[in-house]
Chain A
Amino acid sequence: MRFEVNGRALDADPFPGQCLRTLLREHEHFEVKKGCDAGDCGACGVLVDGEPVHSCVYPAHRIEGRAVTTAAGLGDVGSLSPVQQRFVDAAGFQCGFCTPGMVVTASSEAVQHAEDADLPRLFKGNLCRCTGYRSITDALHGVCTTEERGTGGVGRSVRAPAAERVVTGAERYTLDLSTTGLLHLAVLRSPHAHARVRSIDAAAARALPGVHAVLTADDSPATLFSTGRHQNRLEDPDDTLVFDRVLRFRGQRVAAVVADTVGIAEEACRLLRVDYEVLPAVFDPEEARSPGAPLLHGEKDPFVARIAAPERNVVAQKHGELGDVAAGLAQADVVVSGTWRTARVSHAQLETHGTRGWLDANGRLVLRTSSQVPYLVRDEIARIFGLERDGVRVFAARVGGGFGGKQELLTEDLVTLAVLRTGRAVQYEYSREDEFTGATLRHPKRVSVTLGARHDGTLTAMAVDVLSDTGAYGNHGPGVMFHGTHESVSVYRVPNRRVDAEAVYTNNPPSGAFRGYGLGQVLFAVESAMDELARKLGLDPFELRRRNVVVPGDPVIVTDADEETDLELSGYGLDQCLDLAERAVAEGGDPAPDGWLVGTGMALGMIATMPPRGHYSEVRLTLDPDGGATLDVGTAEFGNGTSTVHVQLVAQALGLPPEHVRLRQSDTDAAKYDTGAFGSAGTVVAGKAVHEAALALRAAVLGAALGLADGNGAEPLLAGGAVLLGARRIPLAEIAAEAPLVATATASGTPRSLAFNVHAFRVAVDPGTGEVRILRSVQAADAGTVLNPEQLRGQIEGGTAQAIGTALYEEVRTDGAGTVTTRTFRNYHIPQMADVPTTEVLFAETHDDLGPLGAKSMSEAPYNPIAPALANAIRDAVGVRPHELPMTRDRVWRLLRAR
Chain B
Amino acid sequence: MPAMEVRLDERTLPEGGFVDLPTLRAVRLPRERSELVIGEGGAPLGGGTWLFSEPQDHLTEFVDLTALGWEPWAEEPDGSLTVAATCTLAQLLRIPARPEWPALSLFPRCADSLVASFKVWNTATIGGNIALALPAGGLTSLATALDAEALLWTADGERRMAVADLVLGVRRTALEPGEVIRSITFPAAALAARIAFRRIALSPQGRAGTVVIGRRDGNGAVTIGITGGTERPEILRFPAPPSTADVATAIDGIGTWYDDPHGAPDWREAMTRRFAEEIREELR
Q: How many residues of A contact B (CB 8 A)?
A: 87
Residues of chain A within 8 A (CB-CB) of B55 are: 433
**Which residues of chain B have C-beta atoms less than 8 A from A509's C-beta?**
none
Cβ of A559 under 8 Å from chain B: no
CA distance A61 to B61 in the complex (A): 13
Q: In the complex, what distance in Å separates the CA atom of A56 from the CA atom of B206?
A: 21
Given A19-B52, A53-B123, A824-B53, A430 and B66 touching (CB < 8 A)?
no
Chain A residues closer than 8 Å to B118, beta-carbon distance: 52, 110, 121-122, 125
Which of B48, B54, B122, B267 is the one whose CB lies under 8 Å from A770? B267
* Interface membership of A888, Cβ < 8 A: yes
Check A832 for interface membership: any CB of B closer than 8 A: yes
Question: Which residues of B lie under 8 Å from residue A832 when comparing CB positions?
Answer: 203-205
Q: Do the beta carbons of B22 and A834 come within 8 Å of each other? A: no
Q: Type the 1/0 row for B102-126, where 1 means its CB is closer than 8 Å to any CB of A.
A: 0000000000100111111011000
Contact A57 B120 (CB under 8 A): yes
CA distance A110 to B120 in the complex (A): 13
Q: Within 8 Å CB of B24, what residues of A?
A: 15-17
User: Of all chain A residues, which has the CB nearest B5?
Assistant: A827
Residues of B within 8 A of A58 (CB): 48-49, 52, 123
B22 contacts A428, CB within 8 Å? no
| Residue among A126, A191, A811 making CB contact with B117, cutoff 8 Å | A126
Contact B116 A125 (CB under 8 A): yes
B203 contacts A827, C-beta separation under 8 Å = no
Bound Cα distance from A17 to B20, whole angstroms: 6
Q: Which of A383-436 contact B (CB under 8 A)?
A: 428-431, 433-434
A266-B22 CB under 8 A given contacts A16-B27, A57-B52, A821-B4 = yes
A3 to chain B, nearest CB (A): 16
Contact A835 B116 (CB under 8 A): no
Task: Assess A828 versus B261: contact at CB under 8 Å? Given A37-B19, A56-B52, A266-B16.
Answer: yes
Q: A51-B122, A827-B5 are in contact. Are A38 and B54 (CB under 8 A)?
A: yes
Residues of A within 8 A of B18 (CB): 37, 266, 431, 433-434
A819→B8 contact, CB < 8 A: yes
Q: Mark A36-74, 1 if CB is under 8 A from B, else 0.
A: 011110100100100111101111011000000000000
The answer to whether A59 touches B53 (Cβ under 8 A) is no
- CB neighbors of B among A1-41 (8 A): 15-19, 22, 34, 37-40
**Does A813 reach chain B (CB closer than 8 Å)?**
yes
CB pair B17–A769 under 8 Å, yes or no, is: no
In the complex, A630 has a CB within 8 A of chain B: no
Contact, CB under 8 Å: B119 / A53: yes
Bound-state Cα–Cα, A40 to B5, Å: 15
A39 & B202 in contact (Cβ 8 Å cutoff): no
- Are A267 and B23 within 8 A (Cβ)? yes
The smallest beta-carbon distance between B2 and chain A, in angstroms, is: 8
Cα A263 to Cα B96 in complex, Å, equals 44
CA distance A265 to B17 in the complex (A): 9
- B residues 81-101 near A (Cβ < 8 Å) are 90
User: Which chain B residues in 39-79 approach chain A with CB under 8 Å?
Assistant: 45, 48-50, 52-57, 61-62, 64, 66
- Bitwise interface map of B from 182 to 204 toward A, beta carbon under 8 Å scored 1, else 0: 00000000000000000010111
Query: In the bound complex, do residue A769 and residue B274 qualify as a contact, i.e. CB atoms below 8 Å apart?
Result: yes
- Stretch in A180-188, A517-525, A598-606 touching the partner: A180-188
Which of A57, A256, A813, A893 touches B49 (beta carbons < 8 Å)?
Answer: A57
On whether A270 and B204 interact (CB within 8 A), knowing A17-B23, A125-B119, A811-B261, the answer reads: no
B34 within 8 A of A: no
Q: Is A276 an interface residue (CB 8 A)?
A: no
Q: Are A54 and B49 in contact (CB under 8 A)?
A: yes
Bound form: Cα–Cα A53–B207 in Å: 19
In the complex, A454 has a CB within 8 A of chain B: no
A437 contacts B17, C-beta separation under 8 Å: no
Q: Does residue A753 face the partner (Cβ distance < 8 Å to B)?
A: no
**Contact A120:B204 (CB < 8 A) given known A18-B20, A265-B17, A769-B271:** yes
Nearest CB in chain B: distance from A632 CB, A: 33
A contact residues around B263 at 8 Å (CB):
888-890
Identify the closest chain B residue to A126 (Cβ): B117
Q: Would A434 and B267 be within 8 Å (CB), given that A16-B24, A834-B205, A888-B202 are in contact? A: no
Whether A267 contacts B267 by the Cβ 8 Å rule is: no
Q: Whole-angstrom distance from the CB of A203 to the nearest CB of chain B?
A: 18
B15 close to chain A: CB less than 8 A: yes
Q: Decide if B26 is an interface residue (CB 8 Å cutoff).
A: yes
Instruction: Please tell me if the beta carbons of B57 and A827 are within 8 angstroms of each other in the complex.
Output: no
Q: Which residue of B lies closest to A61 (CB)?
A: B27
A189 at the interface (CB under 8 A from B): yes
Residues of A with C-beta under 8 A to B203: 808-809, 829, 832, 834-835
Assembled-state Cα–Cα distance A816/B116 (Å): 29
B117 closest partner in A (C-beta): A125
Cα distance, A187 to B18, chains bound together (Å): 10
Interface: A815 (CB within 8 A): yes
Q: Quick check: is A105 within 8 A (CB to CB) of the other chain?
A: yes
Instruction: Flag whether A261 is at the interface (Cβ < 8 A).
Output: yes
Q: In the complex, which of the residues A16, A123, A186, A191 contacts B16, with contact meaning CB atoms closer than 8 Å?
A: A186
| Contact A890-B119, Cβ < 8 Å, known A826-B207, A827-B261 | no
- Which residues in B have their C-beta under 8 angstroms from that of A172? none
| CB within 8 Å of B: which A827-841 residues | 827-829, 832, 834-835
Q: Bound complex: CA of A264 vs CA of B261, how far in Å?
A: 33
Chain B residues, Cβ within 8 Å of A61:
27, 64
User: Which residue of chain A has its CB nearest to the CB of B66?
Assistant: A62
Contacts of A191 in B (CB 8 A): 13
- Indicate if A768 sits at the interface (CB-CB under 8 A): yes
Query: Quick one: which of A852-899 are within 8 Å of B by CB?
Result: 888-891, 893-894
Is the pair A121, B27 in contact by a Cβ cutoff of 8 Å?
no
- Residues of B near A431 (CB, < 8 A) are 14, 16-19
Whole-angstrom CA separation of A733 from B52 in the bound complex: 56
Contact A270 B15 (CB under 8 A): yes
Candidates B4, B53, B61; contact of A39 at CB < 8 Å: B53
What residues on A are CB-neighbors of B57 within 8 Å? 266, 270
Report whether B19 and A262 are in contact in the complex, using a CB–CB cutoff of 8 Å: yes
Considering the complex, give the chain A residue whose CB is closest to the CB of B262.
Answer: A827
A835→B203 CA distance, assembly (Å):
7
Contact indicator A434/B52 (Cβ below 8 Å): no
Given A57-B53, A815-B1, A890-B202, also A52-B17 (CB < 8 A):
no
**C-alpha spacing A143/B200, complex, angstroms:** 33
Chain B contacts for A834, CB-based, 8 A: 203-205
| Chain B min CB distance to A353 (Å) | 11
A893-B267 contact given A53-B122, A110-B118, A827-B260, CB 8 Å threshold? yes
B279 CB to closest chain A CB (Å) equals 14
Shortest Cβ distance from B264 into A: residue: A890
Separation of A40 and B27 alpha carbons in the complex (Å): 24
**Beta-carbon contacts under 8 Å, B155-192 to A:** none
A59-B15 contact, Cβ under 8 Å, with A53-B119, A125-B120, A824-B53: no
- Is A823's CB under 8 angstroms from B23's CB? no
Interface residues of A (CB under 8 A from B): 15-19, 22, 34, 37-40, 42, 45, 48, 51-54, 56-59, 61-62, 105, 108, 110, 120-126, 184-189, 191, 256, 261-267, 269-270, 428-431, 433-434, 437-438, 768-771, 808-809, 811, 813, 815-816, 819, 821-824, 826-829, 832, 834-835, 888-891, 893-894
Question: Could you show 27 A-B contacts with beta carbons less than 8 Å apart?
Answer: A15-B24, A17-B62, A18-B20, A22-B19, A22-B20, A48-B122, A51-B122, A52-B118, A53-B119, A59-B64, A124-B115, A124-B205, A125-B120, A187-B15, A263-B20, A263-B23, A266-B15, A266-B22, A270-B12, A815-B1, A826-B115, A827-B260, A827-B261, A835-B204, A888-B202, A890-B268, A891-B264
Further contacts, 20 of them, CB under 8 A, given A39-B53, A58-B123, A184-B17: A16-B21, A18-B20, A58-B49, A59-B52, A62-B64, A121-B112, A123-B117, A189-B14, A189-B16, A265-B15, A428-B16, A434-B18, A438-B16, A769-B200, A815-B1, A821-B4, A834-B204, A888-B263, A890-B209, A894-B266
Report, nearest first, the 4 A-B pairs whose CB atoms are least far apart: A125-B117, A263-B22, A17-B24, A17-B21
